[in-house]
A and B are shown apart, each in its own frame.
Chain A
Amino acid sequence: MTIAGNCQDHFGSDAGYVCERFGSVNGFGSGRLKTEDRRSAIHQYRLGHRSGGWRHAYPPLRPDWSAQGPAGVSPTTAPRRLIGRIAVLGAGAVVPVLLLALWVISARVGWLTEQILPDPRDVLQTARDYAASGELLADTAISLRRVAEGFAIGAALGLVIGAAQGLSQGARAILELPFFVISQVPVLGWLPLLILLVGIDEELKVIVIAWSAFVPVALNTAQGMRDVPRTLREVGQVLTFDPWSMLSRIIVPAAVPSIFTGLREGLAHSWQTLVAVELFASSEGLGYLMSWGRQLFQLDIVVMALVVVGAIGLALNWTLGRVERRLRRWQVQTG
């Protein structure tokens, strides 16, 4: 496998591109290089960082049943691209709209009983009532606060421990085994133990959520920092960077995609765990709303809470996606 391919596997297309650039300069990593070549390699590296738009270096390939050749080869003009984007969005909406229509119709005709799926009008009415009384907002706010607290603690700890493992061989040797063993117990397995130890109050939720965020953040941070390509480290050595510049200019920027994957995964896990903990032991919050609806056999409450949980999950993911894109742009500019 080529260096570029290898790096691409670990870091996605951007790093693959950078590695390919280095690979194109003969024997850059071997130390048999003239100063001139080194300079040009560094120059190319910076150029690559500035120019942006690397993603197109590796267009996705797909089997094309119509045998017309891969899509996206022919140059498209701006209005056509806009129409294409709308078409993609529209196509994605077809099935959900159909399902929704089916739900409405089947509720009207009476194919579904209230115990299987409630009438969408009931769900809307319930949502309106809960929104008007402020209950929905209060429960959502409580859930969001728990996730924010737990995620902040877990992610901060994960970044520190992950960085320690990624940067120091000794720390890794000490931490890796216990970390692995503990992370093999499913989060929910700790729940009964923690309930006995700290009770079922706020602490329980924050601890469990923090734990579920901690594991992916620490793992990905350690991985990202350890896998910084040797060629990049060598650039730092050539430029005689001190440890601090090495960390801030080379290791952290190169590990940002991996760290961000960890944060994103950690937030998703936090949200999942929150719902689980609230279902299990809580007297307020979105998860509690669901388990309460279930006990009353009022599926309209359950469905309403499900929609809110899904919408918040989507919003969290979308926001992190935006931040990630920002960070990438920032990364490009600092290079």
Chain B
Amino acid sequence: MIARLFHRHWRPLLIPLLVLALWELASRAGWSDARFLPPPEAVLHRLWFETTQGGLATDLAASLQRGASGLLIGASAGVALGLLLGLSRVAERLLGPLFLAYRQVALFAWVPLLSMWFGGAEAGKIAFISLAAMAPSVVNTWRGSRDIPRAHIELAAVLTFGRLDFIRFVALPGALPFILVGLRSSLIYAWLATIGAELFLNIAPGLGGRLNEGRETFQMDLVLACIVVLGALGIAFSRFAAIGEARLLRRRG
């Protein structure tokens, strides 16, 4: 069964298995310094130890909570601003260029300023994550709500919809695919910003903090274990986003 499965799907697994085999071989044969490259089983062991006895679960929860608060604030502000830019020509003319210029400032350049304004503790981290999550939501909502089919707009005019009704029944559903694309990249950015905030700002429980700890105390197995967790989370996020998107779009019909 496994052999057959492998026979059918060997190609995607080729490189990962080769890398693992090389890694194992290198550490067994003593080609690599165990301080720089601990054997795979040491990383697995560390991962197991951290989940069962160390505080990995607490760190993970802290990071996720931080990311989620930032995402919530940033994405809702972003969708609101995007709708404003997409639906009102005046707002687009006045604020659009400013927003486009703002987007060109590298995200991390805001870290020093934000840490002065909000401090390096929780508030500063969440402010930075929100800022990171906002931009993609704005851009995509803006694009989506600008290109609503004219027939829908005319229909809304015939039905004499007010602005709120127009947003609720026409603009939001019409822009939904774009908004979802925006939310998806907001999620990615929020997660990147979470790790960044934990690395750059004050030390606090979180995956970034553990990574820093591993670097400062030269525990390569801890660093690699954290990276494995980060990768697994990234995959989980993209699966989750894809499933959620499909659900919402199906409901919209």
Contact = CB atoms under 8 A, between A and B. Distances in A.
Interface of A: 60-65, 67, 70-71, 88, 91-96, 115-116, 170, 173-178, 180-193, 195-197, 271-272, 274-276, 279-280, 287, 290-291, 293-294, 297, 299, 302-303, 305-306, 309-310, 313-314, 316-317
A154 B221 CA distance: 28
A59 B98 CA distance: 24
Interface residues of B, number: 67
B5 interface: no
B192 interface: yes
B227 interface: yes
B149 A185 contact: no
Given A186-B230, A291-B112, A314 B101 contact: yes
Q: What are the 8 tightest A-B residue pairs by CB atom distance, in nearest-first order?
A: A184-B234, A92-B97, A313-B104, A177-B12, A310-B105, A192-B215, A294-B112, A173-B11
B146 interface: yes
Nearest to A96: B98
B248 to A, nearest CB: 18
Interface stretch (B45-53, B69-77, B194-202): B194-202
Contact of B230 (A88, A185, A271, A290): A185
A54 to B, nearest CB: 17
A189 B146 contact: no
A190 B196 CA distance: 11
B247 interface: no
A61 B231 contact: no
B207 to A, nearest CB: 8
A63 B109 contact: no
A61 B148 contact: yes
A269 B105 CA distance: 11
B93 A91 contact: yes
A282 B215 CA distance: 16
A61 B148 CA distance: 7
B84 interface: no
A184 B228 CA distance: 10
Contacts, number: 176
A276 B113 CA distance: 14
Given A302-B116, A306-B109, 6 more contacts: A61-B146, A116-B117, A173-B11, A189-B211, A287-B109, A310-B104
A182 B227 CA distance: 10
Nearest to B115: A294
B246 to A, nearest CB: 17
B253 interface: no
A290 B112 contact: yes
B96 interface: yes
Given A88-B93, A177-B13, A279-B111, A197 B116 contact: no
A178 B98 contact: no
A194 to B, nearest CB: 10
A197 B157 CA distance: 63
B234 A186 contact: yes
B195 A115 contact: no
Interface in B94-120: 94-98, 101-102, 104-113, 115-117
A174 B12 contact: yes
Given A185-B230, A189-B195, A275 B109 contact: yes
Contact of A95 (B98, B107, B171): B98
Contacts of A188: 192, 195-196, 199, 208
B18 to A, nearest CB: 10
A275 B231 contact: no
Given A92-B94, A189-B211, A313-B105, A63 B87 contact: yes
Contact of A293 (B12, B112, B146): B112
B97 A184 contact: no
Contacts of B237: 184
B100 to A, nearest CB: 9
Nearest to B101: A314
B169 interface: no
Contacts of A190: 227
Contacts of A64: 89, 153
A299 B196 contact: no
A301 to B, nearest CB: 9
A299 B116 contact: yes
6 contacts: A63-B171, A64-B153, A186-B195, A275-B107, A280-B200, A306-B105
